[in-house]
């Protein structure tokens, strides 16, 4: 037992240092959350044409260029390892490292080529959130004949986004449905300042239950901190024969620090989700109004197209009608013969007269 005691002391000291680091990370991330609250706002308004141009530039120019740069760097590192192995054959691991880095470079190059050949994203794929959907709907309202996305597609995209709106507010996987969080986030988004803090922490706790792999990790530090303090107390000879108060005091301090770190981080993280939900709610309302206006414009265009089609059909039938003989013309009343055929299209009144 005496031989194992130094090992246990070393392990407990290491765990204590690691747990302190994790607990400190909770406080640091919470401070970062507070410092970046000002960045939580709706994106800058852009036309849908500008959004398409920027996305196409990124996918066809910027991303392939970055991929080619990374591939070239990895190939250079691989060549350095392989050359060092040729110069100094005693270091065999240089050869394997060079081959491994080369394969990583090859995979990066394949990804870059695939991205370049695929081209820009389709217009319907870009209109996936309320802000881009609103931009596309406004473009359709302004120029319905040339907009690449129709209102029905925009409405379907907005419906799919709304189904996962809580996941978007929490910035988690977009395919996760968090319907039980929708109502809580809707209510919390209306709260202001300090009255929203308890609700923010409840949102974090609900997120742990629904998405544990994304939100449970801040609990590891406090738990490990408490266990490591207990391990230090058990392995430290100075605490042998100490009173229960001397044991419980460090444990209570460790527990208090851990709880405060979780409360601090959980509240700030839930508050971020709450604020983003408020921004997304406003964006959703405006997107719904824009899509509704686009649908009205689409219906008006359909009515105008149908009227124009009827006019063209009437004109076609009129021009293709057989010519009357001279006897028929003489027997027909002059007023009836010269009566025009008329049709109304919106504010326009069109008359078709026979020459």
Q: Mean pLDDT, consecutive 10-residue segments, the chain of 355 residues? A: 61 83 92 90 86 78 78 82 72 76 81 66 79 91 84 90 87 75 84 83 89 87 88 67 69 91 93 91 92 89 82 74 54 54 58 60
Confirm if 105 and 82 have CB atoms less than 8 A apart. Answer: no
**Is the pTM higher than 0.85?**
no
Count other Cβ atoms within 10 Å, centred on residue 85. 19
Confirm if 352 and 342 have CB atoms less than 8 A apart. Answer: yes
- Mapping DSSP to helix (H, G, I), strand (E, B) and coil, where does residue 340 land? coil
> How confident is the model at residue 347, as a pLDDT?
55
Q: Residue 299 has which token pair?
A: 């219906």
Confirm if 226 and 251 have CB atoms less than 8 A apart. Answer: yes
Sign of CA dihedral 42, 43, 49, 52: negative
Q: Report the C-alpha gap between 171 and 44 in whole angstroms.
A: 19
> How confident is the model at residue 261, as a pLDDT?
93
Q: Give residue-wise pLDDT tens across range 129-171.
A: 899 999 999 998 888 888 888 889 899 999 988 888 888 888 8
Q: 217-238 in b/e burial notation, b at 16+ Cβ within 10 A?
A: ebbebbebbbebbebbbebeee
């Amino acid at each position: 037992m005496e031989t194992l005691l130094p090992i246990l002391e070393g392990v407990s000291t290491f765990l204590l240092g690691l747990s302190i680091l994790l607990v400190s990370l909770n406080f640091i991330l919470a401070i970062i959350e507070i410092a970046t609250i000002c960045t939580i706002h709706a994106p800058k308004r852009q036309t849908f044409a500008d959004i398409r141009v920027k996305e196409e530039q990124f996918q066809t120019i910027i991303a392939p260029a970055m991929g080619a740069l990374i591939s070239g760097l990895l190939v250079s590192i691989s060549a350095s390892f392989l050359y060092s192995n040729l110069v100094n054959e005693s270091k065999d691991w240089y050869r394997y490292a060079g081959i491994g880095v080369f394969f990583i470079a090859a995979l990066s190059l394949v990804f870059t080529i695939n991205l370049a050949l695929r081209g820009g994203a389709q217009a319907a794929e870009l209109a996936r959130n309320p802000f881009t959907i609103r931009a596309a709907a406004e473009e359709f309202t302004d120029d319905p004949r040339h907009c690449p996305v129709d209102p029905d597609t925009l409405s379907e995209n907005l419906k799919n986004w709304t189904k996962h709106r809580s996941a978007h507010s929490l910035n988690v996987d977009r395919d996760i449905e968090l319907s039980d969080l929708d109502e809580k986030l809707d209510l919390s988004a209306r709260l202001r300042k300090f009255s929203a803090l308890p609700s923010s922490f409840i949102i974090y706790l609900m997120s742990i239950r629904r998405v544990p792999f994304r939100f449970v990790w801040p609990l590891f530090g406090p738990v490990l901190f408490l266990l490591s303090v207990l391990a230090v107390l058990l392995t430290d000879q100075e605490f042998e024969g100490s009173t229960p108060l001397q044991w419980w005091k460090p444990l209570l301090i460790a527990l208090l620090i851990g709880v405060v770190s979780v409360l601090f981080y959980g509240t700030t993280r839930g508050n971020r989700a709450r604020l983003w939900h408020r921004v997304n709610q406003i964006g959703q309302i405006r997107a719904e109004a824009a899509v509704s206006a686009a649908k009205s414009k689409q219906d008006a265009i359909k009515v105008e197209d149908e009227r124009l089609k009827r006019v063209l059909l009437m004109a076609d039938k009129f021009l293709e009608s057989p010519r009357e003989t001279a006897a028929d013309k003489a027997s027909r009343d002059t007023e009836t013969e010269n009566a025009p055929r008329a049709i109304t299209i919106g504010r326009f009144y069109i008359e078709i007269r026979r020459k």
